[in-house]
Amino acid sequence: EAAVTQSPRSKVAVTGGKVTLSCHQTNNHDYMYWYRQDTGHGLRLIHYSYVADSTEKGDIPDGYKASRPSQENFSLILELASLSQTAVYFCASSDWQGNTEVFFGKGTRLTVV
């Protein structure tokens, strides 16, 4: 069964600190994504990647970096965490981009204080 695993599942970070969210998939998918979920905004795409060592900006990339060191792993990095980045973050993967099923992880709840 397709699996996307995120760590940590929850985290409290201090304003101005560095935060790294990790994601691992065993689906053998080329595409991986980082989404942010906020009440009233649904799921918004931050960064995505379709091949190792390459990342692309999504719709709301400001304040975030991404890293794809291998096909299986995709990280989201907040260099200087801010209060406005408090949200639930989802990693996802898919065979390709477009008309295909996207498989999501269980999410990471990030609270910046």
Nearest CB to other proteins, comparing residues 18 and 106: 106
Q: Which of 20, 22, 58, 95 binds other proteins (CB under 8 A)?
A: 58
Phi-psi region of 56 (alpha: psi -120 to 50; beta: other; left: phi over 0): beta
Angle at alpha carbon of residue 98, lines to 106 and 63, rounded to 5° = 55
Nearest CB to other proteins, comparing residues 15 and 75: 75
Q: Which of 41, 80, 82, 111 binds other proteins (CB under 8 A)?
A: 41
Q: Which of 14, 63, 69, 96 binds other proteins (CB under 8 A)?
A: 96
Distance CA(65)–CA(47), nearest Å, equals 8
